[in-house]
Copies of this chain bind each other. A is one copy, B any other.
């Protein structure tokens, strides 16, 4: 099976390495940066550069670009995919990407399936990519109503082949709503956390809790500012929600109201227990 990968950064590079490593897929790749492409070729992650002709013979095309660039690429190349090709993106927002591309795919006779691999790393670029990136991770797939089952099966199998433990089927709307909570809010809170005036002098005073809360504060601001704006409605709701709750604890503390504070903490504890089982 021939897979074309557009964009050989952290995620595209890792997928190239993982797919090539299976022996089941032949990977052709493209990156707008010639040096990155050269590295991908010489490392064996990519068998050949992906040309326009090569694109038309791919069984699967993975567009591993940021959302706006992924949409632009797929629209510009809509006529270059074969009719039996399944094109996927791997962006962290799905309404923005999928809603405009479902039509493009239908009109041009290829299949498009939105995908979001729940894996990553705080550093970007091909040099940080690795075949083991997806070990035991989830991938979320957001096919549309009329997506051929065969295409979904092929994509699902490809993800399982490279280490994913499970594929979760969702809709773009559900995906964006939940991901605003599980991932985007985590990055905002973590990035805000380190802005306390105490942050710079805390050395020697921190245990695991500080470390956990701030792990994802180090992020690619160009990519995340795009992702946040493309899911702004959901993310604003999540920020409002956590702020509202934080203020409740604060007021209980200001009022010296131990009963209220205790019940706020107990409520969170029981939710955590319920959620994680």
Residues A185-213 near B (CB distance < 8 A)? 185-210, 212-213
Q: A120 an interface residue at 8 Å Cβ cutoff?
A: yes
Which B residues touch A161, using CB under 8 A? Answer: none
Q: A137 an interface residue at 8 Å Cβ cutoff?
A: yes
Which B residues touch A119, using CB under 8 A? Answer: 207
Task: State the CA gap A229–B258 with chains docked (Å).
Answer: 7
Q: A240 an interface residue at 8 Å Cβ cutoff?
A: yes
Residues A232-258 near B (CB distance < 8 A)? 232, 235-236, 238-243, 245-247, 249-250, 253-254, 256, 258
Task: State the CA gap A186–B177 with chains docked (Å).
Answer: 24
Task: State the CA gap A272–B194 with chains docked (Å).
Answer: 6
Convert A139-183 into 0s and 1s, putting 1 for each residue whose CB lies closer than 8 angstroms to a CB of B. 010000000000000000000000000101010000101111111
Asked whether A245 lies within 8 Å of B275 as measured between CB atoms, the reply is no
> From residue A194, how far is it (CB to closest CB) to chain B in Å?
5
The answer, among B166, B235, B256, for a CB contact under 8 Å with A253, is B235
Q: A274 an interface residue at 8 Å Cβ cutoff?
A: yes
> From residue A213, how far is it (CB to closest CB) to chain B in Å?
5
In this complex, the interface size class of chain A, counting residues with CB under 8 Å from chain B, is: 35 or more
In the complex, which residue of chain B has the Cβ closest to the Cβ of A245?
B192
> From residue A197, how far is it (CB to closest CB) to chain B in Å?
7
Asked whether A215 lies within 8 Å of B212 as measured between CB atoms, the reply is yes
Given contacts A137-B207, A236-B254, 16 further A-B contacts (CB under 8 A): A166-B204, A170-B205, A181-B202, A183-B206, A183-B210, A189-B193, A189-B246, A190-B268, A192-B245, A195-B241, A199-B271, A203-B275, A217-B269, A239-B246, A239-B253, A243-B250
Query: Which of A119, A212, A241, A272 is packed against the most chain B CB atoms within 10 Å?
Result: A272
Which B residues touch A140, using CB under 8 A? Answer: 204-205
Stretch at the interface among A19-27, A71-79, A104-112, A259-267: A259-267
